[in-house]
């Protein structure tokens, strides 16, 4: 399995390098938002920045979901323990 991961990593790196090489334009195109020129950035860097931002947003979303599930599990466990302690205390009846 380790060799498979290494081969996959090499393929991904080759594809990323080829993408960068094929999308270098001199001079780089202007990056515009509405009528404002924000600067010049090579196309491949724009794509890589988009990929990185997507990865970060996905990672944060996953971390928040795991955190929420962990809190729900802790709350359920605390409720279960509370119910068990109430059952184990003899002599207490509802009036």
Give the confidence band of 90 by pLDDT, cuts at 50, 70, 90: low
Q: What is the pLDDT of residues 33-82, one digit of tens each?
A: 888 888 888 888 888 999 999 999 999 999 999 999 999 999 989 888 88
Q: How far apart are CA 58 and CA 62, in angstroms?
A: 6
Closest CA to 40 of 50, 32, 48, 49: 32
Asked whether the bond before 27 is cis by omega within 30 degrees of 0, the reply is yes
This prediction's pTM: 0.61
35 in a domain, yes or no? yes
90 in a domain, yes or no? no
28 in a domain, yes or no? yes
Total structural domains within the chain: 1
Q: How far apart are CA 19 and CA 46, in angstroms?
A: 12
95 in a domain, yes or no? no
44 in a domain, yes or no? yes
67 in a domain, yes or no? yes
87 in a domain, yes or no? no
Domain of 10, in residue numbers: 2-74
20 in a domain, yes or no? yes
């Amino acid at each position: 399995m380790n060799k498979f991961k290494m081969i996959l990593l090499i393929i991904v790196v080759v594809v990323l390098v080829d993408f960068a090489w094929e999308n270098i334009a001199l001079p780089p195109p202007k990056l515009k938002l509405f009528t404002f020129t924000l600067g010049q950035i090579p196309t491949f860097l724009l794509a890589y920045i988009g990929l990185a931002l997507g990865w970060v947003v996905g990672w944060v979303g996953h971390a928040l979901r795991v955190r929420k599930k962990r809190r729900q599990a802790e709350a359920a466990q605390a409720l279960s323990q509370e119910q068990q302690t109430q059952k184990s205390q003899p002599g207490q009846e509802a009036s």
